[in-house]
Amino acid sequence: MDIQNLLEDITGAVQPQIGQGQVAGYIPQLGAVDPHQFGISLVTKDGEVFSAGDAHVEFSIQSISKVFALALVLSSDGDGIWKRVFREPSGNPFNSLVQLESEDGIPRNPFINAGAIVVTDRLLSLTGDAAGAVRALMRRESGNALVDTDHRVATSELESGHRNASLAHFLASCGNLENPVDEVLESYAQQCALAMTCQDLALAARFLASNGLGAEGELVLSPAQTKRINAVMLTCGTYDAAGEFAYRVGLPGKSGVGGGIVAVVPGKCAISVWSPGLGRSGNSVAGVAALDEFTTRTGWSVF
Ligand code: DON
């Protein structure tokens, strides 16, 4: 298969979707991004890289960081995190408050904001610098030592982040935070505000397509943990649109409100797409369309 040609074809095919949807205005810095951009990169499990469109433009990875924070917690702390967060789809928006109260402060899964705040809290306890740990993982796996937090985005999120603050305070009231609320929220905002390109992200996610094997030949996760993290991405990675994403794309995937999505073809490749316009559930409209094209044309889905 000529993958380079395929990515260029897909970039052409999704032109009508680029610019559709809304940019994430609830974080003011993200609201200022030009929506008329689209990038796609694919990295095979052996490390071959293909890119098209705006694949070398940096964007805010936002919730995609949650996968990498979870990987770090699972690899150093084993299954303990599952006592503090479930792994079922929520069927609710990513920043919803309602379920958390009725389920006694145990978030539905590690990818909604409440669950990710618990994961970051654990990573902060384990490392003393949760965002720094995610950044180091990203730098090592992408091979790009310049990957860094965009502090304007982190500050913008913290200044406007009343929902995450309420989730974190509620978690604390239920005894499900180990660190002070402000420290956890700051770490979480910094990890979400990492700026990366499609190519950086596809390279960084390669271990999810290669049974946990990282860029330097090290095991980022065991094969069993990799299988499980991919399963949670499939069922929970795109929030209350996870059913629609499975129907259209049929791959484990994780979106972010910066407009990025990382998807995994287990045993074959990692793909990263980016276009800032979001649909109702916070997933990139053109990004989902591109991944739909990709699995429809290649037959590379898990179904
Ligand atoms: O906590 C937030 O609201 C953002 N930092 C991340 C949300 C996000 O990316 C949801 N994904 N589609």
Q: What is the DSSP string of 83-143?
A: GTS--S---S-TT--HHHHHTTT--S-SSSHHHHHHHHHHHHHHHS-HHHHHHHHHHHHHT
Quote the pLDDT of residue 4: 98
In tens, the pLDDT along 107-139 reads 999 999 999 999 999 999 999 999 999 999 999
Domain annotation covers residue 303? no
Average pLDDT over the chain, rounded to an integer: 97
Catalytic positions, please? 63, 66, 188, 239, 257
Q: State the closest ligand 1 atom to the C-alpha of 283, by its place in the atom list counted from 1.
A: 12
266 pocket-lining for ligand 1 (C-beta < 6 Å): no
Residue 141 lies in a domain: yes
In 10 A of CB 67, how many CB atoms?
28
Q: Which domain holds residue 69?
A: 3-298
Ligand 1 lined by 94 (C-beta under 6 Å):
yes
Q: Of 23, 29, 33, 63, which is best to mutate to test ligand 1, by the most ligand atoms within 8 angstroms of its C-beta? A: 63
Q: Per-residue pLDDT tens for 190-249?
A: 999 999 999 999 999 999 999 999 999 999 999 999 999 999 999 999 999 999 999 999
pLDDT digits (tens, 9 = 90+) for 54-104: 999 999 999 999 999 999 999 999 999 999 999 999 999 999 999 999 999
Single-letter residue type at 147: V
Helix (H, G, I), strand (E, B) or coil at 47: coil
Residue-level pLDDT at 203: 98
Q: Which two tokens stand for residue 142?
A: 């992408």
Element (H, E) at 71: helix 65-77
The model's pTM is 0.98
Using pLDDT thresholds of 50, 70 and 90, give the confidence band for residue 297.
Answer: very high
- Percent of the chain at pLDDT > 70 equals 100
Which ligand 1 atom is the nearest neighbour of the CA of 157? 5
Any idea what the CATH number is for the domain that residue 275 is in?
A: 3.40.710.10
> Per-residue pLDDT tens for 253-265?
999 999 999 999 9
CB count, 10 Å around CB of 19? 17
Report how many domains make up the chain.
1
pLDDT in the model for residue 51: 98
The finding on whether 150 has its CB within 6 A of some atom of ligand 1 is no
Please name the residues in contact with 139: beta carbons below 8 A apart, sequence gap of 6 or more.
145, 146, 147
